[in-house]
Structure 1
Amino acid sequence: MFLKKAFMLGAAGLSLSGVAIAAQSESLTPAPGLLRDRPLEELAQWDRPAPASRIEASDYVDNYANDAGDAFFFAPGVWVNALDLNEPRIVIRGFTLGNSQHRSTVIVLRDGAPLTDVHGETNMVEVDLMSVAHVDVFRGGVGDLMFGGDNLGGVLDFVSPTGRVAPGRILRFDGGSSIEASPGGQAHVSVAAASGNLDYFMGLTGRYETGYRDHSQRLDGHFNANLGLELAQNFSTRFFFEALRSDVEFPGMLSPQSAADDPTQALGDVTLGPLFPGGPILYLADGAAEDEHGRTVLSARIANATEFSLFGVDFDAGAHYVRRDIENAQIDYIGVIEDQGSEWGARLAAERAFGLFGVETMIRLGGNYATGSKSSNRFENLRGESGDLLFETDLKSKRMAGFVEAAASPLRNLVISLGAKFTRTKRYLTADGGDDIDEQRTFTGVTAKGGVVYNLTRTLQVFASAFRSYEPPSMDELTSDDPEDFNGLEEQDAFSYEAGLRGRVNDWIGWDLTYFNTDIENEIINIEEPEENGFGGLFANVDETNHKGIEAGLDLNLFPQRFARSGHALTLRNVYNFNDFSFVDSGFLRVDGNQLAGMPTHVYRGELRYAAADRWFAAVNVEMAAGDYFADHENEVSAPTYTLVGFSAGMRMSDHAELYLSGENLTDANFAAGLTPVLEQNVQDGRIFSPGAGPSVYAGLRYRF
């Protein structure tokens, strides 16, 4: 039935990760002719007239992928701001730029259940790419209304392998070093199998990094497993189990001059002032190494996803429980923050297809609920150890949401969809160990959307959509001024429209092109005073801002007729983002017309790869940032633009063993891998830049039993 196909095609976004000449799950190198051989409907993900992409593990498995940000090289509309080791800030359409620690505005899921907690905070260290089969990326504030719509940036869903999709046993070792002799490596083992109505997957990863910069060692251990049961033809359930121990040192941020002089150094002594000409300079802290800046994360998670059909209705249900203990040693005057908490949540959705006055129609409705609490205590920092108690707080959040969406196909090649969602979020704060709630905030929002998808041909599709999105401030943002008191931040409201064209021509070209425009009221951004040297961490609502841009991907299978005859392939993959994010009415900030800081205007990523069937491959890749790359909202200070060059290569030694090699930043470019935008940055030693790593080479061995 056409509606089902077109409904699904609308969301797929013929993502370039799908249109790309991607590797088969059992192949080291891409198979030529995949654009021609793979049916269009298999590239689909969701039934939405909105841009989306699927990142297969084959996009990063032949490189040294040691954190979640390494998955998004070929994802249009996504940019990674590597603020801290193992905690990348993943930016979609300019959202999450203002967050110095936790990442709001982008919701992160694991197998359809929230990894972003009910407080609105995400710890990306909990994602192990070695135990991920693919990542679904939904750009903008729509996505799947189960968890999207009440956020501005979009949704990321990291999906696990299963015993039915990827059976076998794999042993993998990676290791290498930068030119500064900072070695690192990881080891991974996984087992997956299926028998009858039962299948399972188990993966274990250990990772050690000495770090490119001083005081940046890292030690992680991940366990991921899932168990699936098909109890009947129309009833299946799967349980997911995860555990993590992560210990990481944070080298801190640097000033522009310090980053240019020696990007490997850690944060040094921290001072404040002078607050007036000729005034004193106050000594605040010893620096990252002396104060033992770092973080320890212990987490355990169990989740369930169940699908069944009853009376012609398809049901999707799930639940999750998470326990997290986090100890975060920061600068002297902030101290050591110890968070201990847990949360649980559940979801249910129902979907049915039917005919309505002769028109194929589908309707889906559902909702979710989550609640979580944590104790968040702050102590003096005594060389990384907890000293006297400074602040004692108990934090709690509740979230409930309900949605309905429908699609109809009045014409054979046309699908029209509508949807709405109601969300209520409550946040509570209790200070000094008391029993009574000291602070309480309730945020309520309604999301609405509409869109159309039209298939011009079987391999060419246009879409357009408009939607209202909404997002409440996270717990981290509400307590950014005072850990024992909520500030006055309000929820963010946005209206967006977007249009796109995606498709392919035969077996040699595929593309994904989207234009978006979002008007936001009360966008939450990071602001600081210049004398704070990048350590203010204050947030404010801006009256009106605008985010617009272009997201483009282009994949070329060069000379397919010539190379396909020999089983070879020459492919060129391209991703380009144009970013225009500006202040319309900045209120008291007085920066109307300026660009929002923190992201380059132009970002290009590409890879040229030659593959000799499944025997060997060699590739060169490049990432370029050009145009304005402002560090402050006053638009007075810019981070340097950059061009990064890397390579990857691999060889199949036997039916079981594969070798691969990768290199990064081969030209030794000095660049800012991450920065924290501030209001103004007119002091010489303002520390807001996180330098990127120098030239690095890594090698690996993957063995399949």
Structure 2
Amino acid sequence: MRSPLPYSFPLALLGAAFSVHANEGIELGQVTIQGEETSELESARTRLSEVPGATNLIDMNRVEQGRTATNQDVFAYQPGVYAQSSGNEGIKLSIRGSGINRAPGSHASGIYTMLDGLPLTGPGGTPYELLEPLWLSRAEVLRGANGMERGALALGGAIDYVTHTGFDAAPLQLRYEAGSYGYMKRQVSSGQVLGDLDYYVALTDSDYDGYQDHTSGNSQGIAANVGYRFNPNLETRFYLRYRETDNDLAGRLTKDQIKHHPTAANPVYLARDSSRPQPGSTWLANKTTIYLDDDSRLETGLVYHDYPMDLNEGTNRLKVAYTDVSGTLNYFRRDTLFGRESNSNVGLRSTKHLPNSGSSEFVRVPTGNTAGFPIGTRTRDFSYQGSDNVLHAGNDLELVPDLWLTTGLALIYTRRESDVTYPASGGKVSQHDWDYAPRIGLRYAFSPQLQVYGNISRSVEPPHPWALIWSSNIYFPAGSGAATGLQRTPIELQNQTATAFELGTRGEAAIGHWDLAYYYSAVRHELLTVETQAATFNSSQILGEVNASPTVHQGIEAGLDSLLWDGAAVGKVSLRQAYTYSDFHFRDDDAFGDNRLAGIPQHYYQAEVRYDHPLGFYVGLNTQMASKIEVDYANSYTADPYALLGATLGWNSPKQDWQTWLDLRNLTNKHYAATVTPGYNDRGQDLARSTPGEGMGVYAGVSYSFR
């Protein structure tokens, strides 16, 4: 293992204590009872503390005490989670190196994403437009292979975005946010319990000009759910999410440009007026729970997900159609085995593209290979089909008091097909694969305040069906009309697999609440994106996805939430910290030896010290630090390390009706690279690989809840 401490970070701060109310740790303390039932948040906290691996629980009440523009704000101060904005909603999100360089922007890869416990991720990836933070009550993160019980086999694990219901929403709430770079966000929401029925509905819209030129965007959407309890043994809930987004793209910059002209747009993108509109994504779902007896229950789920896109990609325009249907069936049972408690689960998840999934391309800029063809000329049609079927079973058995053995096995059957159908058939590729993922883990509670855990698990991640054509190196030859130079014949790609080992501890002591984990993953056939052709005024950028030689992902994830001082009637001072060490590298690659995988900083640290007054006033000072980032697989060039400072000031009414805040970001106006999209071998040149992080910004917000 490489030394985890070569970079100078204030890690001594990790020895200071954390406040009890922070949102990122898993607390093992006493459960808070509200009336006769445990609150949903505390139930989730207890459930995650029973996982023999690293998890995060994010309480959105804390997140909403500042700007909530994107998921970068949701995942702040979360150990093991790297989330950075690339200038719009399509953030770069990675857990343990998941999807480290795959599908930048639109369809994040490497993490299985759920909405209210039901599938959002499909064979085509995870689109971002339905992930509106203000619709959430909490988010649950199961890092790495710890998401198996949810049917997640991806390298990064699982994220479950849980929507408000009538049980945790105000009858009417109004919220408004505004700030630098033309940012505005508005929401009106309502939720109530009416006997055996409850509902929640929220209308949200936003606008922004963007820090970088040509990064303006807007969105509008609705989220709603209705639940009904027929009797103590049967309940159901229907869900709706619909949202439209339109984001302009500014392209990437060089290190020199970020240092001296960070707000500039890449001239190629500016000339083409690149944009990424999502005409309207729809997610409809139902989840029904049947309590068979006091010790067992059955959960069924059905999801319809339609997410078309209309993309300006270089010299071409793509009209993309995606539609998925998903079904889930989960059975949970509690037994006594040899006098010890035993909890078992069996689940089936199936997601399938519908036949309309495919793309049509048209001439957008009559240059390069499309010279002489009018704008709007059809260049190419291709289809893609995919399905994922996962059968998983697991058991938690108490071997002796407070020592639990977790075992599990998942079987996955995947289908991936791609076919070019116009202007001529280029040859259809169809892949059908069976794979498996076993899991074994132990957790032991020395006391209610100290738990240790460990596990050995396997993950399986198939390629996206559209990657089979976009990664091809076989093109339409000259004389193929407007299709000349475009990929003609799909290729085959192998499933990415990994065997991972994890050790960790979590608990509570004088230093506060902590969460500490170490993991090591041996990855085979890792799916990495490589730029095979840079965008120019006469040609489109071409990104190909390939299976890499063996790689290693290992790291340390540490979170600490400390109460530094409690002055009772005059308030308290707390400190929350999150540190993520990421060592991702090739293993004896023929070309790159043991080079680091580009795109993610090796060290990433966030901290906030905060004072809270009993009357609801609070003030905080925060920092974010990242080490340098390799920008190509040859490790010939890097993006600079950076350190940012920020501050928050706000007031939460003791009656929990009024809330107002001021969020100050990047107070020193630091110029830095927020995300990196790597090249193959830049030979030490400063090429356009990075998107700039936001400069100094001031944001304010207010909300009022009628209760």
TM-score, scaled to structure 1: 0.87
Q: Distance in 2 between matches of 1:135 and 1:20?
A: 19
Amino acid corresponding to residue 201 of structure 2 in structure 1: M
Provide the residue aligned with 1:362 in structure 2: 343
| Alignment equivalent of 1:432, drawn from 417, 421, 430 | 421
Q: How far does residue 331 in structure 1 lie from its aligned partner after superposition?
A: 1.7
One-letter identity of the residue aligned with 1:114 = P
Question: Which residue number in structure 1 is paired with residue 601 of structure 2?
Answer: 600
For 2:444 and 2:565, locate their aligned partners in 1 and report how far apart those are by CA, in whole Å: 30
Residue 341 of structure 1 aligns with which residue? 322
2:649 aligned with 1:649: yes
2:388 to 396, 399, 404: 399
Residue 140 of structure 1 contacts residue 152 of structure 1 at CA under 8 Å; is this kept in 2? yes
1:531 CA displacement: 7.1
Is the partner of 2:459 in helix, strand or coil?
strand
- Paired with 1:643 and 1:683, the residues of 2 have a C-alpha distance of 24
Q: CA deviation at 1:372?
A: 1.1
Which residue in 1 is equivalent to 2:683?
682
Amino acid at match of 1:188: Q
Could you tell me whether the CA contact under 8 Å between 2:437 and 2:459 is conserved in 1? yes
The residue type paired with residue 273 of structure 2 is E
Letter of the structure 2 residue corresponding to residue 427 of structure 1:
R
1:406-425 aligned within 5 A: 406-425=395-414
- d(CA) in 2 for partners of 1:245, 1:42: 31
Alpha carbons 2:56, 2:142 under 8 Å: kept: yes
Q: 1:359, CA displacement in angstroms?
A: 2.5
User: Separation in 2 of the partners of 1:23 and 1:492?
Assistant: 35
**Aligned-pair distance for 1:48?**
2.3
Output one character per residue of 1:187-218: Cα deviation in whole Å (capped at 9) or x when no partner. 01110100110000001111000111111110
1:375–1:672 Cα change, 3 Å: same
- Structure 1 segments unaligned to the other structure (5+ residues): 1-18, 25-29, 269-286
Find the counterpart in structure 1 of residue 353 from structure 2: 372
The AA in structure 2 aligned to 1:399 is D
- Contact 1:146 1:367 (C-alpha < 8 Å) held by counterparts: no
- Write the mapping of 1:594-673 to structure 2, written as runs, cut at 5 A: 594-626=595-627, 628-652=628-652, 655=655, 656-673=657-674
Residue matched to 1:61? 64
- Mapping of 1:178-193 within 5 angstroms? 182-193=181-192
Q: Deviations over 1:610-659 (max 9, x none)?
A: 01024210011100012x42111111101010001111111246843222
User: 1:101-133 deviations in whole A, cap 9, x for unaligned?
Assistant: 4221111111111222232x1111221101111
Q: Which residue of 1 aligns with 2:583?
A: 580
Distance in 1, Cα, partners of 2:516 & 2:614: 30
Following superposition, the deviation at residue 486 of structure 1 comes to 2.4
Alignment partners' CA distance in 2, 1:34 and 1:383: 62
Letter in 2 for 1:657: W
User: Does residue 439 of structure 2 align to residue 449 of structure 1?
Assistant: yes
Structure 1 residue aligned with 2:45:
43
Match of 1:202 in 2: 201
More off after superposition, 216-225 vs 45-54: 45-54
Asked whether the 8 Å contact 1:352–1:364 carries over to 2, the reply is yes
Partner of 2:565: 559
Give distance in 2, aligned partners of 1:398 and 1:538: 22
In structure 1, the residue corresponding to 2:72 is in which secondary structure? helix
Q: Which moved more, 1:692-701 or 1:577-586?
A: 577-586
Whole-angstrom CA distance in 2 between matches of 1:265 and 1:693:
12
Structure-1 separation of matches of 2:248 and 2:420? 29
Contact 2:497 2:526 in 1 (8 A): yes
Alpha-carbon distance between aligned partners in 2 of 1:407 and 1:685, rounded to the nearest angstrom: 52
Shift of 1:42: 6.8
Matched, 1:233 2:232: yes
Q: Does 1:481 align with 2:481?
A: no
1:147, distance to aligned residue in structure 2 (A): 2.5
| Residues 277-326 of structure 1, C-alpha deviations (whole Å, 9 max, x = no match) | xxxxxxxxxx2122111111111111111111125421111110011220
**Could you tell me whether the CA contact under 8 Å between 1:365 and 1:403 is conserved in 2?**
yes
Matched to 1:61, the amino acid is: E
Query: Contact 2:212 / 2:263 at 8 angstroms: preserved in 1?
Result: yes
Matched, 1:319 2:325: no
Q: Are residues 242 and 674 of structure 1, via their aligned partners in 2, closer, same or farther at CA, if it must alter by over 3 Å?
A: same
Q: Which moved more, 1:634-643 or 1:350-359?
A: 350-359
TM-score norm. by structure 2 comes to 0.87
Deviation at 1:386, TM superposition (A): 6.3
Alpha-carbon spacing, 1:419–1:322, altered in 2? closer, same or farther (3 Å): same
What is the alpha-carbon distance in structure 2 between the residues aligned to residue 666 and residue 415 of structure 1? 48
Which residue, out of 489, 495, 499, partners 2:499? Answer: 495
- For residues 520 and 144 of structure 1, what CA distance do their matches in structure 2 show? 18
How far apart are the structure 1 equivalents of 2:237 and 2:615?
33
- Residue pair 1:554, 1:574 contacting (<8 A) in 2 also: yes
Q: 1:304 aligns with which of 286, 311, 318?
A: 286
Kept in 1, the 8 Å contact 2:426–2:489? The answer is no
Q: Within 1, Cα distance between the matches of 2:445 and 2:667?
A: 43
1:174 paired with 2:177, answer: yes
CA RMSD of aligned residues (A): 2.6
Number of paired residues?
A: 648
Specify the alignment match of 1:8 in structure 2: none
Q: How far is 1:505 from its partner? A: 1.8
Deviates more, 1:403-412 or 1:358-367: 358-367
Change (3 A) 1:246 1:666: same
The code of the aligned residue for 1:209 comes to: Y
Contact 1:81–1:675 (Cα < 8 Å) also in 2: no
Name stretches of at least 5 consecutive residues in structure 2 with no aligned partner: 1-17, 34-41, 368-373, 473-486
Does 1:116 find its partner at 2:116? Answer: no
Find the residue that maps to 1:475 and give its secondary structure. coil
Alpha-carbon separation, structure 1, partners of 2:269 and 2:531:
21
Shift of the 156–348 alpha-carbon distance from structure 1 to 2, 3 Å rule, reads: same
SS in 1 for 2:587: strand
1:240-290 superposed Cα distances (whole Å, 9 cap, x missing partner)? 10111111101111122222220101111xxxxxxxxxxxxxxxxxx2122
The answer as to whether partners of 2:561 and 2:576 remain within 8 angstroms in 1 is yes
Distance (Å, rounded) in 2 between the aligned partners of 1:48 and 1:452: 9
Matched ranges for 1:72-151 at <5 A: 72-99=75-102, 100-101=104-105, 102-119=107-124, 121-149=125-153, 151=154
SS of the equivalent of 2:258 reads: helix
Distance of 1:638 and 1:247 partners within structure 2: 31
Q: Structure 1 653/313 Cα, relative in aligned 2: closer, same or farther at 3 Å?
A: closer
Please give the per-residue CA displacement for 1:549-577, whole angstroms capped at 9, x wherever unaligned: 100001111123xx1x2162211000001
Task: Call closer, same or farther: CA 1:437–1:500 in 2, change over 3 Å.
Answer: same
- Structure 1 residue 168: Cα displacement: 2.8
- Taking structure 1 as reference, are residues 413 and 241 closer, same or farther at Cα in structure 2, changes over 3 Å only? same
The one-character-per-residue Cα deviations of 1:435-493 (angstroms, maximum 9, x if unpaired) are 99822111221000000010000111000000111111112432222455322321111
CA contact (8 A) 2:675 2:691 kept: yes
How far, CA to CA, are the matches of 1:325 and 1:81 in structure 2?
Answer: 25
Q: 1:84 to 1:337 in 2, by over 3 A?
A: farther
Which stretch of structure 1 is more off in the superposition, 309-318 or 517-526?
Answer: 309-318
CA contact (8 A) 1:97 1:676 kept: no
Distance 1:241 1:37 in 2: 31
Is the contact between residue 343 and residue 372 of structure 1 (CA under 8 Å) also seen in structure 2? yes
How far apart in 1 are the matches of 2:488 and 2:411?
Answer: 30
CA distance in 1, matches of 2:44, 2:88: 36
* Structure 1 CA distance for aligned equivalents of residues 408 and 301 of structure 2: 21
SS in 2 for 1:387: coil
The structure-2 alpha-carbon separation of the partners of 1:683 and 1:595, relative to structure 1 and needing over 3 Å to count, comes to closer
Match of 1:293 among 271, 274, 281: 274
Q: What is the deviation of 1:409?
A: 0.6
Q: Mark the CA change 1:429 to 1:593 in structure 2 (over 3 Å): closer, same or farther.
A: closer
CA distance in 1, matches of 2:200, 2:570: 32
Structure 1 window deviating more from structure 2 (40-49 vs 684-693): it is 40-49
Question: Which residue is equivalent to 2:334?
Answer: 353
Q: For residue 314 of structure 1, what is the amino acid of its counterpart?
A: R
| Amino acid corresponding to residue 394 of structure 1 in structure 2 | S
